[in-house]
Structure 1
């Protein structure tokens, strides 16, 4: 476990990366995304931050609070429902018009409703899309900007998806998108494992960028608002019993920012000659982490809430068996299919 004082000290050194870092937070209008965004704004010099979400009033509040944390920071809201890939593409095009580089991409989008398969006009389940397809699409679309960030001072580029690293389960390879066998548990299992596999795939394909899939533990995020009344009632009764196990808002934000920026989780091949290309220099008593492929410093990491490496042997086995390649090809096929659907819709 990485001690919290070590986390705070590391985050405070983000100012050493200089002014003007660019970050994108998807799903940042509440919960873990909001907490991490605020930690980033607080610890950087004149950052430019893009906040993507559905709730404009929440975004207004966050922007005002961020101005109080850092008067030189700029936070801009982009309203979007990224349960559809067309919206992901729109947001990415907007950012590409405004920025030449993105240093940090943090994704927390999702929902907690208990509905069954809920298909969008693109033919994909919305929960599955939020948890996996939209996240992978954001990374794919913004790779040119992340590459530019990795090759120009301060040579710092990171992508973090916050979901359920360490909870990977077997995938039904005969129905990867769960078109015919959908339920909530299978959706969670598939999207968790697929995010972990793609973390490793992107790390190999883009060795100058760090890719991480993290688990935030139990955090009071307000996500219960999407649950049916009976589930909200049950949760309200049970919350006091679980409260001692919660990770607080400030600690969550600080820890997720540490995972996103520390030299414990360097890219496979950081730029030479840059003292921060591998991340904020390692704190005393810590070491470079083992990647999701079982190799130290491989650029793709599965990180527990406390900074320790997590993940199941299943991820390494799947990589050895070629399942990662299968998921990669499946994902590219989904993107091509949806592009055709959206062209027809347009």
Structure 2
């Protein structure tokens, strides 16, 4: 666990990375993404920030708040429904036209509803697409910009997915996309475990970039907005009861920003001679974190909401037995299949 005092001190040193950091926050028109984006803008020097979401009014409010917090920052909203990979591709192309490098991808997109499998025209359940496929697609599409960031001062490059690290379930490798065995709980469990495994897979392939999957903690968000009225009411009552146990907005944003930028979560091979490539210089009282593979500083991290290491019981065995590579291959095959569907439908944007 990392103390809140250490978190705040580290975030205040984000300026060490210099001006002009470029960051993408997906799902940031509410909740954890919003809180973290605002913390980033507040602490960075002249950052350029892209917020992706569906709510234009919320985005306008957030942009105004960011302008007040940092008049030298630039925040731009890109409206998109990223439950469809064609929309993910469109957003990535738009960013690639504007930026040569990207220092941070921070993803929190998702929803909560009581519908069963809600399949899009791309053949993917929309909840699974938000929790998993869209996140991996953003990373895959934007790897060239993340790689360029490692070659450009401050040589800092990160990807963070916030879902529920360490809280996943066993995978049905014969039905990873739950085409035949879908339930809401299986969707949540599968996508969490797959996010965990892909941190290692990406980190092994991209040694100059840090990849993290973080747990959110108990945070009040607007995640229940798509539930029926009775369920939304019950959720509000539950939040009232557990308020003493929840994490506040400011603390949530601060802790997630710490995990996205601290030097205790370095890439496995940071640029030699560039200290900032590992992130914000860490407090001397804490050590570099053990990665998901079991090695210290391996570039792929599964983290609790307080910044410590978490690892589901089955994950080491999955990595040893090649299940993580099975998940990787499945994901790339899904991307290829969806690309073909969209090409045939003329839905390439």
| 2:19 match | 19
| 1:60 match | 60
CA distance in 2 between partners of 1:164 and 1:241 (Å): 22
| 1:218 match | 218
* Alignment gaps of 5+ in structure 1: none
CA distance in 2 between partners of 1:216 and 1:332 (Å): 27
CA distance in 1 between partners of 2:267 and 2:130 (Å): 26
CA distance in 1 between partners of 2:327 and 2:237 (Å): 40
Task: List aligned pairs for 1:247-286, cutoff 5 A.
Answer: 247-286=247-286
CA distance in 2 between partners of 1:238 and 1:50 (Å): 33
Give the superposed CA RMSD: 0.7
Whether 1:162 aligns to 2:162 is yes
| 2:87 match | 87
| 1:32 match | 32
The offset of 1:236, in angstroms, is: 2.1
* Farther-moved stretch of structure 1 (79-88 vs 228-237): 228-237
* Farther-moved stretch of structure 1 (308-317 vs 24-33): 308-317
CA distance in 2 between partners of 1:236 and 1:194 (Å): 30
Q: TM-score, normalised by structure 1?
A: 0.99
Task: List aligned pairs for 1:257-336, cutoff 5 A.
Answer: 257-336=257-336
CA distance in 2 between partners of 1:76 and 1:126 (Å): 25
CA distance in 2 between partners of 1:148 and 1:133 (Å): 24
Cα deviation digits, residues 86-119 of structure 1 (max 9, x gap): 0000000000000000000000000011110000
CA distance in 2 between partners of 1:261 and 1:235 (Å): 32
**The residue matched to 1:316 in structure 2 has which SS?**
helix
Structure 1 stretches (4+) deviating beyond 6 angstroms? none
| 1:71 match | 71
| 2:4 match | 4
**The residue matched to 1:90 in structure 2 has which SS?**
helix
8 Å contact kept, 1:168–1:315 = no
**The residue matched to 2:105 in structure 1 has which SS?**
strand
Cα deviation digits, residues 136-168 of structure 1 (max 9, x gap): 000000000000001111000000000000102
**The residue matched to 1:105 in structure 2 has which SS?**
strand
The offset of 1:306, in angstroms, is: 0.7
**The residue matched to 2:301 in structure 1 has which SS?**
strand
* Alignment gaps of 5+ in structure 2: none
CA distance in 2 between partners of 1:95 and 1:204 (Å): 25
* Farther-moved stretch of structure 1 (235-244 vs 188-197): 235-244
The offset of 1:284, in angstroms, is: 2.3
**The residue matched to 1:77 in structure 2 has which SS?**
strand
Q: TM-score, normalised by structure 2?
A: 0.98
8 Å contact kept, 2:132–2:194 = yes
Cα deviation digits, residues 242-296 of structure 1 (max 9, x gap): 1111000000000000000101110000001112111111112101111111111
8 Å contact kept, 1:168–1:311 = no
